[in-house]
Structures are given as C-alpha cells and as structure tokens.
Structure 1
Amino acid sequence: MKHLSTLTATTLLSLSLAGGAIAADMKPEEQILTRQAGYKFMSWNMGKIKANLEGNYNQEVVEKAAAAIAGIANSGMGALYGPGTDKAVNGVETRVKPELFTNQKEVGKVAGDFVAAANNMAEVATKGDKAETKQAFGALGQSCKACHDQFRQD
C-alpha cells in the first residue's frame, strides 16, 4: 500500500498525540530507552519470522510475531522522539541522525511506509501462505532498511 488511507492517517495521528502526552512526562533518556526497547522487541520478532521462513514454517509463531510488530508499529512511537532525544543524555546513547528531527516530510513517509508494511505483514501472516508471507516479510524488512539508511547512524 503506497498511500495511507485517511482513516489510517487519522488513527496514526491520534495514537501519536495520545502517546505524546505520555512521552511528555518521560525524561529524554527514558524516551530513548523506551524506543530502543520497542525496536529491539520488533527485531526479536523479525528474527522469529525469518527463522520460520528459513526452516520449518509454523504459522502460529509467524502470526504472533507479525502481530507484535504491527502492534508496536501502530503504537505512536514517534512520540518518543521528543526534544533532547537527538543525542546522548545522561549516559544513554542514541544512534539517531539529526535529520530525523529536521526532515519531517521524509520521516512521515518512511514511518507511514513502515506502518503499512507491518500491517500488511500481520494480515498476510494470518493466511498461512509461506510464499506470500516471505514476500510481505521482504517488504517489511525493506521498510526498516529505508529508515536505517536515512536516519540511523552506524
């Protein structure tokens, strides 16, 4: 899906605003640690999907992992990129590039593409078709890579 529907965009905005209120009460280092935990949890679930696609395919494991990724993707994590989270704070490191905080149009596109790919992955995983799941997983991985390439330091 190239463009988010109005309903999806409205939902994402609402989630971001609600998450923003909660994140505003967090210190910058807490925001960094929380977003890093979210990405680590998504990575762990990506690993479970990959292992199933490369080995014995277990639809239930893939479906649950894909649902977890979509849940985090739709959680409003953008609110965890508050002021002061663009650099290390009190010993908490971040690999985010400054461009993430200045190029909002591109960030919105990349984030929207990621949410769409995560939602598609979750939907495809329910069908149990390994080949279709592999294709959706590839698209999800590419959406992750697009953000890493543009907005994450090595």
Structure 2
Amino acid sequence: MKTLIASLLGAAVLSASLTAQAQLPPEDQIKFRQAGYSFMSWNMGKIKAMAIDEAVEYDQQQILAAANAINGIAQSGMGALFGPGTEADVGDQATRVDPALFDNFPEVAELSKDFVAASDNLVEQAENGEQSDVRAAFAELGKSCKACHDKYRMD
C-alpha cells in the first residue's frame, strides 16, 4: 500500500512540476527554489537557537510557527522548480545543484519523501511542545536535508 501511495504521489509531483515548468523560465525557477530554501534555513535557525543551542528562550509557539513554515515549503511541490535548464547557472542566477540530480529523479523523490515525513514529524513534536522531542525531530529533519545535500549539492 505504501508503494502505491508513493507511486501516486510521485506521479502527482511530476505532473505538477511539468505544469510549473511551463509557466516559469529557468532563471525564475532557480530564484524561487533558492528563496524557499533560504526561508526554510531561517526558520531552522530559529528552532536551533531555541531548542538546541538554547541561545534564545524556548517558545513553543515560535517553534511551532517555524516548523509549520518549513513543513509548508516541504509540501509545496518545490520539485517543480528543478525543470530543464536549471541544472546550471542561468542569467544572474547561480545554482549549486549537482547536474546528477536531473538524472536521478526517482532517488530524489525518495529523498524528498523522507524530508516531508521529517518535517511532518517536526510539526507534530512542536505541537506536543516537549523540547527533547523537538530536538530529536529537528535532528531527523537535518539528516534528511544532509542526505540530499551530500549527493546533489555542489560546494
């Protein structure tokens, strides 16, 4: 059953990505995906400061808001922003994506699925409010980011 759901989800993401690719030039696809990742990074930094480093007072509502922002982007269909012509710099938009990503969409879809699951869990743990559970969920989210970065992000 999980395989069927994953296959259907993959088909829906591919369909959505083809529609979005037709609407956005490659330069804009790169710009928008980078904006999404930057926004996620900013929100991850807020969680890290409160739940991990404890440099800022722990605030469950702020943690939850940041987790929801990350989750919203994770589920937004950003795969649509990796269309043809976005595997290299375009115009003023530089990219660090490894062109190998474009030859490995099935694996990338699995990595993406893992990231969405980790962001779902982060929201669940943020709702729960237990700092130790948020820490563990945040660590899993970081692992899912790293799994993709290690394979498909150039320095």
TM-score by length of 1: 0.90
* Residue of structure 1 in register with 2:68 after alignment: 67
Task: Work out the CA distance in 2 between the residues paired with 1:134 and 1:6.
Answer: 32
**Contact 1:4-1:112 at 8 Å conserved across structures:** no
In structure 1, list runs of 5 or more residues that go unmatched: none
Structure 1 residues 50 and 19: alpha-carbon distance in aligned structure 2, compared to 1, 3 A threshold: same
Return the offset for 1:142.
Answer: 0.7
Number of the residue aligned with 2:144: 143
Q: Is the Cα contact below 8 Å between 1:16 and 1:76 reproduced in 2?
A: no
Q: Using a 3 Å threshold, how does the CA distance of structure 1 residues 4 and 116 change in structure 2: closer, same or farther? A: farther
Q: Distance in 1 between matches of 2:143 and 2:115?
A: 9
Q: 1:137: how far off?
A: 0.2
Distance between the aligned counterparts of 2:21 and 2:97, measured in 1?
Answer: 18
Deviation string for 1:70-114 (max 9, x for gaps)?
A: 000001000100000000111311000011000122211111111
Question: Which aligned pairs between 1:31-42 and structure 2 lie closer than 5 A?
Answer: 31-42=29-40
2:128 alignment partner, SS class: coil
> Following the alignment from structure 2 to structure 1, what is the Cα–Cα distance between the partners of residues 2 and 45?
27
In structure 1, C-alpha distance between the alignment counterparts of 2:13 and 2:67, rounded to whole Å? 19
| Residue of structure 2 in register with 1:111 after alignment | 112
Identity rate, percent: 48
Judged with a 3 Å threshold, the aligned counterparts in structure 2 of structure 1 residues 23 and 117 are, in CA distance, closer, same or farther, namely same
- Distance in structure 1 (CA, Å) of the matches to 2:48 and 2:149: 19
- TM-score, scaled relative to structure 2: 0.89
Which residue does the alignment assign to 2:21?
23
Residue 151 of structure 1: CA displacement?
0.2
User: Are residues 1:94 and 2:92 paired?
Assistant: no
Pick closer, same or farther for the CA change 1:113–1:4 going to 2, 3 Å: farther
- Give the unaligned 5+ runs of structure 2: none
The alignment's C-alpha RMSD in Å is: 1.9
| Kept in 2: contact 1:15–1:74 (CA 8 A) | no
Separation in structure 2 between the aligned mates of residue 66 and residue 134 of structure 1, nearest angstrom: 12
> What's the counterpart of residue 152 of structure 1?
153
Paired residue total: 152
CA distance in 2, matches of 1:126, 1:5: 29
